[in-house]
Structure 1
Amino acid sequence: MAKYYLGIDLGTKTLGLATSHGIIATSYGVYQFPENDFSNAAQYLITLIGNKNFTDIVIGYPKNMNNTIGPRAVMVDDFITLLKSMLLTPIPIHLIDERLTTRQAHQIMLEANLSRQKRKTKKDSLAAQLILETYLQQQ
Protein backbone atom coordinates (compact mmCIF):
# COMPACT_ATOMS: atom_id res chain seq x y z
CA MET A 1 0.00 0.00 0.00
CA ALA A 2 1.31 3.45 -0.90
CA LYS A 3 2.17 5.75 1.96
CA TYR A 4 0.55 9.16 2.34
CA TYR A 5 2.03 11.29 5.12
CA LEU A 6 0.60 14.22 7.05
CA GLY A 7 3.24 16.45 8.65
CA ILE A 8 2.22 18.59 11.62
CA ASP A 9 3.78 21.52 13.44
CA LEU A 10 1.61 21.93 16.56
CA GLY A 11 1.27 25.32 18.20
CA THR A 12 -1.08 26.67 20.85
CA LYS A 13 -3.31 28.29 18.19
CA THR A 14 -2.26 26.73 14.89
CA LEU A 15 -1.52 23.49 13.12
CA GLY A 16 1.07 23.89 10.39
CA LEU A 17 0.40 21.15 7.86
CA ALA A 18 2.32 19.43 5.07
CA THR A 19 1.74 16.32 2.97
CA SER A 20 3.84 13.82 1.06
CA HIS A 21 3.52 10.59 -0.88
CA GLY A 22 7.01 9.68 0.28
CA ILE A 23 9.53 11.75 -1.66
CA ILE A 24 8.90 15.50 -1.43
CA ALA A 25 6.92 17.27 1.28
CA THR A 26 4.49 19.98 0.20
CA SER A 27 2.93 22.68 2.35
CA TYR A 28 -0.76 22.06 3.02
CA GLY A 29 -1.48 25.29 4.87
CA VAL A 30 -2.34 26.28 8.41
CA TYR A 31 -5.39 25.48 10.53
CA GLN A 32 -6.15 28.08 13.21
CA PHE A 33 -8.06 27.14 16.35
CA PRO A 34 -8.94 28.89 19.62
CA GLU A 35 -5.89 29.08 21.89
CA ASN A 36 -5.23 25.78 23.69
CA ASP A 37 -8.43 24.21 22.27
CA PHE A 38 -6.62 21.03 21.28
CA SER A 39 -9.84 19.01 20.97
CA ASN A 40 -10.87 21.41 18.18
CA ALA A 41 -7.50 20.87 16.46
CA ALA A 42 -7.72 17.09 16.91
CA GLN A 43 -11.25 17.00 15.49
CA TYR A 44 -10.06 18.93 12.44
CA LEU A 45 -7.27 16.38 11.95
CA ILE A 46 -9.67 13.44 12.36
CA THR A 47 -11.80 14.85 9.53
CA LEU A 48 -8.77 15.62 7.37
CA ILE A 49 -7.26 12.15 7.91
CA GLY A 50 -10.56 10.51 7.00
CA ASN A 51 -11.09 12.64 3.88
CA LYS A 52 -7.54 12.32 2.55
CA ASN A 53 -6.72 8.74 3.67
CA PHE A 54 -3.37 9.53 5.28
CA THR A 55 -1.47 6.42 6.29
CA ASP A 56 1.03 8.05 8.70
CA ILE A 57 1.30 11.20 10.81
CA VAL A 58 4.64 12.91 11.39
CA ILE A 59 4.58 15.49 14.16
CA GLY A 60 7.30 17.82 15.33
CA TYR A 61 8.62 17.14 18.83
CA PRO A 62 10.05 20.32 20.36
CA LYS A 63 12.77 19.14 22.71
CA ASN A 64 14.81 21.70 24.62
CA MET A 65 18.20 22.52 23.13
CA ASN A 66 19.86 20.38 25.84
CA ASN A 67 17.75 17.39 24.64
CA THR A 68 15.40 17.42 27.64
CA ILE A 69 11.61 17.30 27.50
CA GLY A 70 10.00 20.63 28.35
CA PRO A 71 6.44 21.98 28.47
CA ARG A 72 6.11 22.21 24.66
CA ALA A 73 7.04 18.55 24.21
CA VAL A 74 4.61 17.57 26.98
CA MET A 75 1.94 19.54 25.07
CA VAL A 76 2.69 17.42 21.97
CA ASP A 77 2.57 14.21 24.04
CA ASP A 78 -0.83 15.20 25.46
CA PHE A 79 -2.10 16.11 21.99
CA ILE A 80 -1.02 12.75 20.58
CA THR A 81 -2.83 10.97 23.41
CA LEU A 82 -5.97 12.99 22.63
CA LEU A 83 -5.68 12.36 18.89
CA LYS A 84 -5.18 8.62 19.35
CA SER A 85 -8.28 8.46 21.58
CA MET A 86 -10.35 10.09 18.81
CA LEU A 87 -9.06 8.05 15.85
CA LEU A 88 -11.47 5.34 14.75
CA THR A 89 -8.68 3.43 13.05
CA PRO A 90 -5.21 3.76 14.55
CA ILE A 91 -2.45 5.00 12.25
CA PRO A 92 1.26 5.32 12.99
CA ILE A 93 2.36 8.60 14.56
CA HIS A 94 6.05 9.42 14.24
CA LEU A 95 7.87 12.07 16.31
CA ILE A 96 10.61 14.17 14.71
CA ASP A 97 12.95 16.44 16.65
CA GLU A 98 11.96 19.91 15.51
CA ARG A 99 14.31 22.06 17.57
CA LEU A 100 15.66 24.04 14.64
CA THR A 101 12.82 23.90 12.12
CA THR A 102 11.20 27.22 13.07
CA ARG A 103 14.55 29.01 12.85
CA GLN A 104 15.25 27.24 9.56
CA ALA A 105 11.81 28.27 8.23
CA HIS A 106 12.45 31.91 9.17
CA GLN A 107 15.85 31.83 7.45
CA ILE A 108 14.38 30.37 4.25
CA MET A 109 11.67 33.03 4.16
CA LEU A 110 14.14 35.84 4.83
CA GLU A 111 16.34 34.62 2.00
CA ALA A 112 13.25 34.55 -0.25
CA ASN A 113 12.59 38.21 0.68
CA LEU A 114 9.08 37.48 1.94
CA SER A 115 7.38 40.35 3.72
CA ARG A 116 6.91 40.19 7.48
CA GLN A 117 3.20 39.47 6.98
CA LYS A 118 3.86 36.61 4.54
CA ARG A 119 6.49 35.15 6.89
CA LYS A 120 3.96 35.22 9.72
CA THR A 121 1.30 33.39 7.70
CA LYS A 122 3.62 30.81 6.14
CA LYS A 123 6.04 29.90 8.96
CA ASP A 124 3.90 27.15 10.49
CA SER A 125 3.22 25.31 7.23
CA LEU A 126 6.87 25.66 6.19
CA ALA A 127 7.93 24.28 9.59
CA ALA A 128 5.57 21.31 9.04
CA GLN A 129 7.10 20.80 5.61
CA LEU A 130 10.62 20.79 7.10
CA ILE A 131 9.53 18.34 9.82
CA LEU A 132 8.07 16.00 7.22
CA GLU A 133 11.11 16.30 4.94
CA THR A 134 13.38 15.45 7.88
CA TYR A 135 11.35 12.31 8.54
CA LEU A 136 11.38 11.29 4.87
CA GLN A 137 15.17 11.75 4.66
CA GLN A 138 15.61 9.39 7.62
CA GLN A 139 13.61 6.61 5.96
Structure 2
Amino acid sequence: MPILPLAELRAGLPRGARLIGVDPGARTIGLALSDVTLTLASPYGSLARGKLGAAAAELAAIARKEGAGGLVVGLPLSMDGSFGPAAQAAKDFGRALADAAGLPVAFWDERLSTAAVQRAMIEADMTRAKRAKAVDAAAAAYMLQAALDATAG
Protein backbone atom coordinates (compact mmCIF):
# COMPACT_ATOMS: atom_id res chain seq x y z
CA MET A 1 0.00 0.00 0.00
CA PRO A 2 1.19 3.50 -0.67
CA ILE A 3 2.92 5.79 1.80
CA LEU A 4 1.36 9.22 1.35
CA PRO A 5 1.73 12.68 2.79
CA LEU A 6 -1.01 13.07 5.40
CA ALA A 7 -2.91 15.76 3.48
CA GLU A 8 -2.97 13.50 0.40
CA LEU A 9 -4.13 10.48 2.42
CA ARG A 10 -6.88 12.54 4.00
CA ALA A 11 -8.00 14.04 0.69
CA GLY A 12 -8.14 10.61 -0.95
CA LEU A 13 -10.39 9.00 1.66
CA PRO A 14 -13.92 8.10 0.61
CA ARG A 15 -16.63 10.26 2.20
CA GLY A 16 -17.33 9.07 5.73
CA ALA A 17 -14.11 7.02 6.05
CA ARG A 18 -12.16 7.26 9.29
CA LEU A 19 -8.46 7.18 10.06
CA ILE A 20 -6.80 4.87 12.54
CA GLY A 21 -3.95 6.33 14.58
CA VAL A 22 -1.20 3.84 15.41
CA ASP A 23 1.40 4.41 18.13
CA PRO A 24 3.84 1.49 17.88
CA GLY A 25 5.43 0.82 21.24
CA ALA A 26 7.91 -1.82 22.34
CA ARG A 27 5.27 -4.05 23.98
CA THR A 28 1.93 -2.68 22.79
CA ILE A 29 0.51 -0.83 19.82
CA GLY A 30 -1.78 2.03 20.82
CA LEU A 31 -4.78 2.63 18.57
CA ALA A 32 -7.02 5.65 18.08
CA LEU A 33 -9.91 6.28 15.73
CA SER A 34 -11.07 9.49 14.10
CA ASP A 35 -14.70 10.40 13.68
CA VAL A 36 -16.20 10.36 10.18
CA THR A 37 -15.70 14.12 9.78
CA LEU A 38 -11.96 13.72 10.50
CA THR A 39 -12.24 16.31 13.26
CA LEU A 40 -11.89 14.37 16.50
CA ALA A 41 -9.60 11.50 17.53
CA SER A 42 -10.55 9.14 20.35
CA PRO A 43 -8.58 6.38 22.07
CA TYR A 44 -9.62 2.99 20.69
CA GLY A 45 -7.51 0.42 22.50
CA SER A 46 -4.25 -1.41 22.12
CA LEU A 47 -2.84 -4.56 20.58
CA ALA A 48 -0.07 -6.74 21.94
CA ARG A 49 3.11 -6.25 19.96
CA GLY A 50 3.71 -9.76 18.68
CA LYS A 51 3.78 -11.22 15.21
CA LEU A 52 3.22 -8.64 12.48
CA GLY A 53 0.67 -10.83 10.71
CA ALA A 54 -1.53 -11.11 13.79
CA ALA A 55 -1.41 -7.35 14.46
CA ALA A 56 -2.16 -6.61 10.80
CA ALA A 57 -5.11 -9.02 10.79
CA GLU A 58 -6.56 -7.37 13.91
CA LEU A 59 -5.99 -3.92 12.44
CA ALA A 60 -7.65 -4.90 9.15
CA ALA A 61 -10.65 -6.27 11.08
CA ILE A 62 -10.92 -3.01 13.06
CA ALA A 63 -10.68 -0.99 9.84
CA ARG A 64 -13.50 -3.01 8.26
CA LYS A 65 -15.67 -2.81 11.39
CA GLU A 66 -15.14 0.94 11.89
CA GLY A 67 -15.01 2.05 8.24
CA ALA A 68 -11.40 3.21 8.28
CA GLY A 69 -9.67 4.02 5.03
CA GLY A 70 -6.10 4.64 6.18
CA LEU A 71 -3.52 4.62 8.93
CA VAL A 72 -1.59 7.43 10.56
CA VAL A 73 1.47 5.93 12.23
CA GLY A 74 3.41 7.83 14.87
CA LEU A 75 7.01 8.56 13.94
CA PRO A 76 9.24 9.06 17.00
CA LEU A 77 11.74 11.56 15.62
CA SER A 78 14.70 12.57 17.78
CA MET A 79 14.30 15.75 19.82
CA ASP A 80 16.35 17.67 17.24
CA GLY A 81 14.00 16.46 14.50
CA SER A 82 16.45 13.95 13.07
CA PHE A 83 15.50 10.50 11.86
CA GLY A 84 17.06 7.99 14.28
CA PRO A 85 16.80 4.22 14.79
CA ALA A 86 13.44 4.43 16.59
CA ALA A 87 11.92 6.43 13.72
CA GLN A 88 13.31 3.97 11.16
CA ALA A 89 11.88 1.04 13.12
CA ALA A 90 8.46 2.75 13.32
CA LYS A 91 8.54 3.52 9.60
CA ASP A 92 9.44 -0.07 8.70
CA PHE A 93 6.76 -1.41 11.04
CA GLY A 94 4.12 1.04 9.74
CA ARG A 95 4.89 0.21 6.12
CA ALA A 96 4.69 -3.54 6.78
CA LEU A 97 1.50 -3.13 8.81
CA ALA A 98 -0.13 -1.06 6.05
CA ASP A 99 0.86 -3.59 3.38
CA ALA A 100 -0.41 -6.53 5.42
CA ALA A 101 -3.67 -4.76 6.34
CA GLY A 102 -4.20 -3.38 2.82
CA LEU A 103 -4.47 0.26 3.92
CA PRO A 104 -2.60 3.38 2.79
CA VAL A 105 -0.41 4.97 5.44
CA ALA A 106 0.91 8.40 6.41
CA PHE A 107 3.44 9.11 9.14
CA TRP A 108 3.21 11.85 11.75
CA ASP A 109 5.77 13.19 14.21
CA GLU A 110 4.78 11.90 17.63
CA ARG A 111 7.65 13.25 19.74
CA LEU A 112 6.61 13.60 23.36
CA SER A 113 3.03 12.38 22.82
CA THR A 114 3.37 9.63 25.42
CA ALA A 115 5.09 12.00 27.86
CA ALA A 116 2.33 14.61 27.43
CA VAL A 117 -0.38 12.01 27.97
CA GLN A 118 1.41 10.57 31.02
CA ARG A 119 1.73 14.08 32.50
CA ALA A 120 -1.99 14.78 31.97
CA MET A 121 -2.93 11.46 33.55
CA ILE A 122 -0.73 12.15 36.58
CA GLU A 123 -2.26 15.62 36.94
CA ALA A 124 -5.70 13.97 36.83
CA ASP A 125 -4.54 11.82 39.76
CA MET A 126 -4.92 8.60 37.78
CA THR A 127 -3.35 5.57 39.44
CA ARG A 128 -0.25 3.99 37.94
CA ALA A 129 -2.22 0.82 37.07
CA LYS A 130 -4.94 2.78 35.25
CA ARG A 131 -2.31 4.86 33.43
CA ALA A 132 -0.53 1.71 32.26
CA LYS A 133 -3.76 0.36 30.74
CA ALA A 134 -4.78 3.59 29.01
CA VAL A 135 -1.57 5.37 27.98
CA ASP A 136 -0.95 3.66 24.63
CA ALA A 137 -4.40 4.37 23.18
CA ALA A 138 -4.37 7.89 24.66
CA ALA A 139 -0.97 8.60 23.09
CA ALA A 140 -2.27 7.34 19.73
CA ALA A 141 -5.28 9.68 20.06
CA TYR A 142 -3.02 12.60 21.01
CA MET A 143 -0.87 11.98 17.92
CA LEU A 144 -3.86 11.45 15.60
CA GLN A 145 -5.57 14.60 16.92
CA ALA A 146 -2.44 16.66 16.16
CA ALA A 147 -2.39 15.21 12.64
CA LEU A 148 -6.09 15.97 12.08
CA ASP A 149 -5.69 19.51 13.41
CA ALA A 150 -2.68 20.16 11.18
CA THR A 151 -4.53 19.06 8.04
CA ALA A 152 -7.98 20.52 8.77
CA GLY A 153 -9.02 22.65 5.97
The alignment covers a number of residue pairs equal to: 135
Q: Spell out, residue by residue over 1:81-136, the C-alpha distance to the aligned partner (whole angstroms, 9 max, x if none).
A: 21233234xx4312111111011011110111000111111110110010110011
Contact 1:9/1:127 (8 A) holds in 2: yes
Cα distance in 2, alignment partners of residues 125 and 84 from structure 1 = 18
1:1-139 paired onto structure 2 within 5 Å = 1-21=15-35, 22-34=38-50, 37-88=51-102, 91-139=103-151
Cα distance in 2, alignment partners of residues 69 and 15 from structure 1 = 20
Residue 20 to residue 49, structure 1, CA distance change in 2 (3 Å)? same
Cα distance in 2, alignment partners of residues 123 and 19 from structure 1 = 15
Contact 1:9/1:17 (8 A) holds in 2: yes
Q: Spell out, residue by residue over 1:38-59, the C-alpha distance to the aligned partner (whole angstroms, 9 max, x if none).
A: 3322222122222222022111
**Range moving further from structure 2, 74-83 or 118-127:** 74-83
Contact 1:17/1:27 (8 A) holds in 2: yes
Look up the SS of the partner of 2:121 in the other structure: helix
Look up the SS of the partner of 1:73 in the other structure: helix
Cα distance in 1, alignment partners of residues 101 and 136 from structure 2 = 24
Q: Spell out, residue by residue over 1:33-79, the C-alpha distance to the aligned partner (whole angstroms, 9 max, x if none).
A: 33xx3332222212222222202211110011121112221111111
Identity of matched residues, %: 30
Cα distance in 1, alignment partners of residues 98 and 132 from structure 2 = 30
Look up the SS of the partner of 1:133 in the other structure: helix
Under a length normalisation based on structure 2, what TM-score does the superposition of the two structures give? 0.80
Contact 1:59/1:96 (8 A) holds in 2: yes
Look up the SS of the partner of 1:55 in the other structure: strand
Under a length normalisation based on structure 1, what TM-score does the superposition of the two structures give? 0.88
Amino acid at match of 1:6: I
Contact 2:53/2:100 (8 A) holds in 1: no
Contact 2:56/2:101 (8 A) holds in 1: no
Cα distance in 1, alignment partners of residues 92 and 57 from structure 2 = 15
